Chains A and B, each alone.
Chain A
Amino acid sequence: MTSILAILRESWLSLRAEWLFKGVMGLNVLVIVAYASIGFDANGISLFYGLTHIESEFIYAGSPMSRTLYLGIYSAFIVNMWLAWAASILALISTSSIFPSFLSAGAVELVVSRPTRRSTIFFVKYAGGLLFVVLQVSVFTLGAFLAAGWRVDAWDPAIFLAIPIITLFYSYLFCVNVLVGVITRSTLIALLATLLFWFSSFSVRTADDIMSQFSYRLDATVERTEARVAELDEETSEAEAAGDELDAEDAAHWAVGPQAAMDRARKAQSQLAPWAAIISGVRTVLPETARTLGLLHRALERNTDTTLMDLMSGAAFDDEDEPPRKLSEEEEAQARHMEKEEEIPAWSIILKSLVFEAVILIVALIIFRRRDF
């Protein structure tokens, strides 16, 4: 216990000494100040603490849409762009040096020559690296919680879920960072390798998403054309039965187009299948960075029926009485994809990613334990 506290304290001191840590903290505060600058009054939205004003008949103080907008900005922009991208890159830059400098010649001898086991040192040091993110995100979410409470009376504790979720997300990247850091003892290589890893898992994920949307579209095409062909086939046979040759010919003629479209879609499906399988196979091995972040969105949007997406696409402003607009094939595929994504249980997303993290950490630990300094 004494040694665990000593290592954690050392991590804290090293963070405090780092100007990037303070810089990111400052930026966090800045983002919150900007977020809190958006407000609502009786007839619209006020920006920059009332400096400018946008009139709106739907979005005003107390309207449900103002709430959707305000919380939506948090979950779609602030979490996605600031916490998950900019702040994470800055965190990576500043935590990439943790293991390499800890393992640098002259420093590491003083630590591994202690009665404390190397594995304890390793894990506590790892936790110390995550401390960076925990502290940053804690300060940030507290700010966001207060802003949302003040502006739209949300007081939603789900905002604090960002602390574990962002930390989890970050840990998927940090474990790679640590592994490379332990192997190379170089901050720069560790940082670059982690960014590369992040980028490639991002690409794999995007490719997989595109693939699955595409295959939903093909499914829809097949379904639609199948129905149409069946319909026309029936018409043909009905006309034949009635002895109406001309009508039967007509119907058969009309069926040629859909039939061809169906065949094309089927062919595409079978061509796509192996690639889709490979990509989703690769994705299975990688940690679920995006889906983990998605959990935060799920939590934040759990009890609003309109989302920021609806607001932006205009769906939220549609008249209730009007029949819902017919979705295009593409929109349908997207909706289906989203639906499927939401069906994935949280535990499986987290568990799968943690398995990846555990494997990477075990490899790093084995290398660290065996290493001569």
Chain B
Amino acid sequence: MSHVIELTDVHKTFGRKVLALRGVSMHVDQGQIFCLLGPNGAGKSTLVKILMTVIHASRLSGTMLGHPIGHKPTLRRVGYLPEHHRFPPYMTAEQALHYYGGLSHIRRPERVRRIAEKLDLVGMTAWRSHKVGTFSKGMQQRLGLAQALLADPELLLLDEPTDGVDPVGRREIRDLLHHLRREGRTILINSHILAELESICDQLAVVVKGRVAMEGTLEELTCGGLRWVVQWRGADVDSLAFEVEREGDLRTVSLPNASDEDVQAVIDAVRGAGGIVTSVQEFRESLEDLFMRALKDADDLDGAVPGAVQGKVSKAT
């Protein structure tokens, strides 16, 4: 599988003191939905902006779609939805899309066709000749998505795409992303809504304080966190090596990293003691658990405090 984005050792320092990125290396595979997670100020948006030439990295080596980062013509093949974007309020939805489409070198006849198509896709056709300034946040976000999709890009970079979008819209966006992935497009998403990402995420990286604290496929990362939960009513079983939670008549035991045989043993023990097993469930670690784990693992600094690391730039590599 080829890497659509390949980054090694990306550094970005704002001014002299704000170390927004401190050596990020990661890669995104073709046809994947890649989720970039991380606390506020971790540097996620900065990383995406570097890919889109909005911000210049202090140090960088890497490629996007086979070209070095910063190669302008490549951006024609990339769709970008910036965080907190604002369209010129005096433009109608259609005019705005013509503007951005033109900037992406899409010729007019082609643009006319695609604009109609994308407005329809995000459900904004009815508002195409209304001024953007009058749109609600979610409507602007939908328009932003249409803007990102306009060039039929191979790679989509979405910075908090569901920000301000209603539940129906979120679901639509999720379905849309699935659809785009089926078409073979690669998508990189920044988001804080972990529950939402869980169902669509293939690969992920957790950025903490300007460094990648955890990276891999969702499978890989969560199978370490596999656990079984057995519940039963009645008898206490003293012979179990695990901590048992009691709630009235109900007993629950959680078995982290347990094999199927381990679970059988527990069930046998419970039944042997006269308990009635009510449920046996396998749980994967949730994205939230994973996220928290990554924060905790980023040991050198307090990952939970928002914002980038502040300090002097060290010249050491």
List A residues at the B interface (Cβ < 8 Å): 2-3, 5-7, 9-10, 13-14, 16-17, 104-117, 121, 370, 372-373
Contacts and interface: CB of A to CB of B under 8 A. Distances in A.
Given A2-B108, A3-B102, A111-B103, A370 B90 contact: no
Nearest to B100: A110
**Can you list the 9 inter-chain pairs with the closest CB atoms, starting with the nearest?**
A6-B102, A17-B90, A106-B86, A113-B52, A109-B82, A114-B103, A372-B55, A115-B76, A115-B75
Q: Indicate the member of A110, A112, A121 with the most B CB atoms within 10 Å.
A: A110
B88 A10 contact: yes
Contacts of A114: 75, 100, 103-104
Nearest to A370: B56
Q: Indicate the member of A9, A111, A112, A114 with the most B CB atoms within 10 Å.
A: A114
Given A3-B102, A107-B88, A116-B103, 4 more contacts: A6-B98, A7-B99, A106-B85, A372-B56
Interface in B58-88: 72-76, 80, 82, 84-88
B128 to A, nearest CB: 15
A107 B75 contact: no
B188 to A, nearest CB: 14
B54 A373 contact: yes
Interface of B: 14, 49, 52-56, 72-76, 80, 82, 84-88, 90-91, 95, 98-108, 147
Nearest to B140: A106
B86 A104 contact: yes
A373 B12 CA distance: 13
Contact of A13 (B80, B82, B91, B101): B91
A113 B82 contact: yes
B269 to A, nearest CB: 60
A107 B102 contact: no
B85 A110 contact: yes
A209 to B, nearest CB: 43
Contacts of A7: 99, 102-103
B49 A13 contact: no
Q: Indicate the member of B53, B80, B84 with the most A CB atoms within 10 Å.
A: B53
B99 A107 contact: no
B144 to A, nearest CB: 8
B54 A5 contact: no
Contacts of A113: 49, 52-54, 75, 80, 82
Contacts of B91: 10, 13
B105 A112 contact: no
A216 B106 CA distance: 63
24 contacts: A3-B103, A7-B102, A9-B98, A9-B99, A13-B95, A14-B88, A109-B52, A109-B80, A109-B82, A110-B80, A110-B82, A110-B85, A110-B87, A111-B100, A112-B54, A113-B53, A113-B54, A113-B75, A113-B80, A115-B76, A116-B72, A116-B105, A370-B56, A372-B56
B139 to A, nearest CB: 15
Nearest to B12: A372
Nearest to A6: B102
B73 A115 contact: yes
B105 A3 contact: yes
A7 B53 CA distance: 19
Contacts of A121: 103
A371 to B, nearest CB: 9
Nearest to A15: B90
Nearest to B46: A372
Contacts of B90: 13-14, 16-17
Contact of B102 (A9, A17, A106): A9
B308 to A, nearest CB: 13
B82 A2 contact: no
A107 B85 contact: yes
Contacts of A16: 90
A287 B74 CA distance: 41
Q: Indicate the member of A9, A108, A111, A115 with the most B CB atoms within 10 Å.
A: A115
A17 B76 CA distance: 30
A117 to B, nearest CB: 6
Contacts of B103: 3, 6-7, 111, 114-116, 121
Contacts of A14: 88, 90
Q: Indicate the member of B74, B76, B86 with the most A CB atoms within 10 Å.
A: B86
B147 A373 contact: no
A108 to B, nearest CB: 8
Given A13-B90, A114-B100, A115-B104, A373 B49 contact: yes
A147 B30 CA distance: 68
Contacts of B80: 109-110, 113
Contacts of B88: 10, 13-14, 107
B99 A6 contact: yes
B87 A109 contact: no
Contacts of B108: 2
Contacts of A110: 80, 82, 85, 87, 100, 147
A106 B86 CA distance: 5
A17 B88 CA distance: 11
Contact of B106 (A2, A17, A104, A105): A2
B48 to A, nearest CB: 9
Contacts of B102: 2-3, 5-7, 9
Contacts of B49: 109, 113, 372-373
A106 B104 contact: no
Contacts of B53: 112-113
Contacts of B100: 6, 110-111, 114
Nearest to A371: B56
Contacts of B84: 105-106
A300 B53 CA distance: 50
A3 B105 CA distance: 6
Contacts of B56: 370, 372
Given A109-B49, A110-B87, A110-B147, A10 B54 contact: no
Contacts of B52: 109, 112-113
A109 B54 contact: yes
B141 to A, nearest CB: 12
